[in-house]
């Protein structure tokens, strides 16, 4: 369920894949359409991960829940409803899976994301650091081995999917998230974002 594509399409009449980074994820929605849109997308993507993992827990315990959660993450990355085209980078969906399987580590990683983002204004840096911290928190809170293995794999997946962001960070060209949309930023009737050019 590619909410990062569906919500902007339904509520703003735009294809978010034609804006910003081209990703159908909450970060690109935030950058191009604002925080409220992004919050709704992130909440639905988190819920998607929670639902998959809880269904797995009900069906067969931690291992099945991990497999179900991974399936949700892969589906977020390459959504069926978009013809397996590029979706989001799985951060929110991973958080949802972790929330169902290891609540305290997930909340601690979420706190890490918020802290790093407030310090840097880079969503990519916050996502990479929070992802890397998740296995450490899972180990600290005594997660089962399937859950611990999931957190390690998720951290590596988040890093891999953000490799272009890492390249831009190293080159000094990565964009910071603006907490307020710039003045003059509007959406055209054709669905194209009309943004004030920044130096």
Q: What confidence score (pLDDT) does residue 79 get?
A: 82
Count of helix runs (H) and strand runs (E) in the chain? 9, 2
**Within a 10 A sphere around the Cβ of 194, how many other Cβ atoms?**
10
Q: What confidence score (pLDDT) does residue 180 get?
A: 62
The answer to whether residue 184 sits within a structural domain is no
Q: What's the rounded Cα separation, in Å, for the pair 76 and 92?
A: 10
The answer to whether residue 48 sits within a structural domain is yes
Q: What confidence score (pLDDT) does residue 192 get?
A: 40
Point out the least confidently predicted range of 34-43, 116-125, 135-144, 175-184.
175-184
Tens of pLDDT, residue by residue over 118-133, are 998 888 899 999 999 9
Average pLDDT, the chain: 83
Query: Is the pTM above the cut of 0.85?
Result: no
The answer to whether residue 157 sits within a structural domain is yes
Written as six digits, the tokens of 150 are 């999931």
Q: Which candidate, 129, 134, 128, 117, places its Cα nearest to that of 176?
A: 117
The answer to whether residue 34 sits within a structural domain is yes
Q: How many domains does the chain have?
A: 1
Domain hosting 57: range is 3-178
Tens of pLDDT, residue by residue over 162-191, are 888 888 888 888 878 776 654 444 444 334
Confidence of residue 114 (pLDDT cuts 50, 70, 90): very high
Three-class DSSP category at 14: coil
Q: Does residue 84 surpass a pLDDT of 80?
A: no
């Amino acid at each position: 369920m590619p909410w990062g594509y569906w919500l902007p399409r339904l509520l703003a009449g735009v294809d978010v894949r034609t804006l910003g980074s081209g990703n159908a994820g909450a970060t690109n929605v935030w950058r191009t359409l604002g925080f409220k849109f992004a919050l709704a997308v992130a909440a639905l993507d988190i819920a998607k991960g929670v639902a998959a993992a809880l269904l797995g827990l009900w069906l067969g315990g931690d291992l099945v829940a991990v497999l179900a959660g991974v399936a949700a993450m892969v589906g977020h990355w390459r959504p069926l409803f978009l013809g397996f085209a590029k979706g989001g980078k799985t951060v929110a969906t991973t958080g949802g899976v972790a929330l169902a399987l290891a609540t305290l580590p997930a909340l601690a990683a979420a706190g890490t994301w918020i802290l790093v983002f407030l310090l840097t204004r880079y969503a990519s840096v916050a996502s990479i650091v929070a992802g890397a911290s998740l296995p450490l928190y899972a180990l600290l809170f005594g997660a089962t081995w399937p859950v611990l293995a999931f957190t390690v794999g998720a951290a590596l997946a988040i890093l891999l999917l953000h490799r272009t962001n890492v390249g831009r960070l190293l080159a000094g060209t990565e964009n910071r998230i603006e907490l307020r949309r710039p003045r003059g930023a509007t959406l055209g009737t054709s669905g194209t974002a009309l943004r004030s050019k920044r130096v």
